[in-house]
Amino acid sequence: MRETNMEQLENITYNELSVGDSATFSRTLTERELLLFAAVSGDVNPVHLDSEFAANSLFGERIAHGMWSGSLISAALATVLPGPGTIYLGQDLSFRQPVRLNDTLTVTLTVAEKKPKNRVIIECVVTNQNGEAVTQGNATVLAPSEKQSVDAPRLPEITIENDAG
C-alpha cells in the first residue's frame, strides 16, 4: 500500500496500475479547516458553523461539510493514486456518517477496474479514526500515460479573520 509523501509527488501511470493497487491519504478536521472550507465553498449552513444551532440539530453538535471528505478523495487521487497528471472524470459518493471536529479521516483508494483509453475506476472509502466508513463511492479517472515526479508545491499561508465579535 502506498502512503503520502508530500515533499515529492510521483504518479503511477496507467500501464503501471493493476487491479487491487491501493493507497491512503489522511487528514484531521480542525476548526481552521472547517472555516476555510466554508469560506472557499460558500456553504455556510449553520450546522457547520454555529454551535448553538448545531446543538439542536439531528447531530447534536457541529459537523463537517459532506464534501470536505469528498475533497480528500480528490486530493488523494491527485497526489498518491494515480497522482500528478490524473484527470478526475466523475465520482459517485455516499455520506454514511457525520464527520466531527478533530476527526482524522483516512482515504483508501483501490483500483477496481482498468478500462480502455486510460480510464480507471477507483473504489474510494473514507474512514474515521475509529475505522468507521464515513464516505464511500467510486471515482472514474483518466490515469496519466507518462511517468512524472514533481516537487509538492508550497501553498500560501491563509489567515482567517472573524469580524463577528
Query: What is the pLDDT, as a whole number, of residue 162?
Result: 72
pLDDT average, residue stretch 145-157 = 89
**CB neighbour class for 21 (10 Å; exposed up to 12, middle 13-18, buried from 19):** middle
Distance CA 131, CA 114 (A): 28
Residue 156 lies in a domain: no
Residue with cell string 461539510: 65
Residue 142 lies in a domain: yes
Residue 154 lies in a domain: no
Query: What is the pLDDT, as a whole number, of residue 165?
Result: 46
Residue 89 lies in a domain: yes
pLDDT band at 1 (very low <50, low <70, confident <90, very high): low
Residue 46 lies in a domain: no
Residue 156's contacts (CB-CB under 8 Å, 6 or more residues apart) are: none
> For 62-82, what is each residue's pLDDT tens digit?
999 999 999 999 999 999 999
85 lies in which domain range? Answer: 8-28+65-146
Residue 2 lies in a domain: no
pTM: 0.89
pLDDT band at 158 (very low <50, low <70, confident <90, very high): confident
Residue 56 lies in a domain: no
Q: How many residues does the chain have?
A: 165
Number of domains comprising the chain = 1
Between 102 and 152, residue with greater pLDDT: 102
